[in-house]
Amino acid sequence: MDLFQKLIDNMGPLGQYKEVAHGYYAFPKLEGEISTRMIFRGKERIVWSLNNYLGLANHPEVRKADADASAEWGLAYPMGARIMSGETDYHEQLEQELAAFVSKPAGLLLNFGFQGVVSIIDALMSRHDAVVYDMDSHACIYDGVRMQMGKRFPFEHNDFESFKKQIEKAKKYTEETGGGILVISEGVFGMRGNQGILKEIASLKDQYGFRFFVDDAHGFGALGATGAGAGEEQGIQDKIDVYFSTFAKSMASIGAFVAGEQFLIDYLRYNMRSQLFAKALPMPLVIGALKRLEIIKRGPELKNKLWAVVNRLQGGLREAGLDLGVTNSCVTPVFLKCSVAETAYLVHDIRENFNIFCSVVMYPMIPKGMILLRLIPTADHTFEEVDLTIEAFKKIKKSLEEGAYNKELSEVGV
């Protein structure tokens, strides 16, 4: 059989809807300045789908720093991988400042978040080791776990009893092989919005002797007294051995970093294949990240503005009887029982009639028969935008319950 025939026969759970979905439900184009209001198909919408938590994407100081650095350095500098010809004082400065901010001795810049997580797991694990990880982990963790050669022990999402069973199995396995244990959780789970049970997991570190890796992509900048993330929020930052975050959320940029003990960072610096064999992060991104971090470190003003929006939005949606699950972060998921056809009409309604743009998540990311409308509040959203959104969600909930969206999928026109 031709290798590509299986692709023609089965486009996958999402790809099967590409004729209807592409350009509207999937791969939509938002135009204009990054803001809480952008243009979608010629109309202004209130946008809740950008991970611009602190509103730094269009902060005037950030825009100036990005523009000045681009003009001075261009996007090519430095050329080459850092180990060969791409090292600069600015790269080292950013690593040191990020590590200090999350209370770790050392840090390492990474070109991308997804690639970084995969490569960290690959660098740390051998066939004698065991990895224990939350079953709701991000795709980058799953890909990293699948690629490594050790034994896998997944535990039920945020289920401490399940974790204890799996860590016990991992301990027995590594006692036989002579390997070690890596436990992986997220600071905040990006779909459900709930924080990982980091404190509970960390309480067993001494007993089982594992190392703890936390992907804090949605926690960095948004959680904790200083914005240092979910570990700070839960009071166990010192128990995290491998702290990771991306720049794609609160930092509103490209890149990522990992922080930990000096020996760990030294090892990763010389053994992470995705960094050893990749061009260094371009200088404008590095200088821009320094400016973003400087603003975050000034104080909690932006974080406080963010949480004022979060609390008003989540409180209003819950009061309206909408199901937000167990979120205890900025991520605001609205769960609805909805067929594929109903989803098409519901999303069309909220975008065209209420001028609200939010992300829609379906199977296989969540169970069949459900959809998740994910709202990402930012420090830039106004209370007026929050209140308009709450009223819109009340109306779509009523329409869904009355069967208004129960039509044939072929009828929808976008």
> Among 16-20, 112-116, 159-163, 385-389, which stretch is predicted with the lowest mean pLDDT?
16-20
Q: At CA 326, angle to CA 373 and CA 208, rounded to 5?
A: 125
Name residues whose C-beta falls within 8 Å of residue 77's C-beta, 6 or more positions apart in sequence. 282, 283
Residues 208/171, Cβ–Cβ less than 8 Å: yes
Mean pLDDT, to the nearest integer, of 85-89? 97
Instruction: Give the confidence band of 20 by pLDDT, cuts at 50, 70, 90.
Output: confident
How do 151-155 and 130-134 pair as beta strands?
parallel
Residue 414: pLDDT above 60?
Answer: no
Name the nearest CA neighbour of 359 among 134, 140, 45. Answer: 45
pLDDT category of residue 14 using cuts at 50, 70 and 90? confident
What is the mean predicted confidence (pLDDT) over 384-391?
A: 98
Q: Is the per-residue pLDDT at 13 higher than 90?
A: no
Higher-pLDDT residue of 190, 364: 190
Name, in order, each residue with C-beta under 8 angstroms of 118's C-beta and a sequence gap of 6 or more: 140, 143, 144, 147, 274
Residues 6+ apart with CB under 8 A from 411: none
> Do the Cβ atoms of 49 and 376 come closer than 8 Å?
yes
* The predicted structure's pLDDT at residue 378: 98
pLDDT at residue 411 greater than cutoff 80:
no
Residues of the chain above pLDDT 90, percent: 88
Tokens of 359: 């992300």
Q: Do 151 and 130 form a contact (C-beta atoms < 8 A)? A: yes
State pLDDT tens for residues 119-148: 999 999 999 999 999 999 999 999 999 988
Mean pLDDT value of segment 332-337:
96
Average pLDDT of the chain, as a whole number: 95
Predicted confidence at residue 70, as pLDDT, reads: 98
Q: At residue 365, does pLDDT exceed 90?
A: no
The pLDDT assigned to 413 comes to 53
> What span, in angstroms and rounded, lies between the C-alpha atoms of 115 and 120?
9
Cα 265-229-115 angle, rounded to 5 deg: 50
- pLDDT reading at 400 higher than 60: yes
Looking at residue 408, what is its pLDDT?
55
Between 281 and 19, whose confidence is greater? 281
Domain annotation for the chain: domains and CATH numbers: 5-53+300-411 (3.90.1150.10), 60-297 (3.40.640.10)
Alpha carbons 357 and 371: distance in angstroms, whole number: 15
Helical spans, DSSP H, in 320-414: 340-352, 383-401
Closest CA to 247 of 98, 407, 396, 391: 98
User: To the nearest whole percent, how much of the chain has pLDDT over 70?
Assistant: 98
Q: Tell me the pLDDT band of 213, cut-offs 50, 70 and 90.
A: very high
Helix (H, G, I), strand (E, B) or coil at 31: strand
Q: Is the pLDDT of residue 3 over 60?
A: yes
* Beta bridge partner(s), residue 31: 39
pLDDT for position 148: 85
Q: What is the pTM of this model?
A: 0.94
Confidence band of 205 (pLDDT split at 50, 70, 90): very high
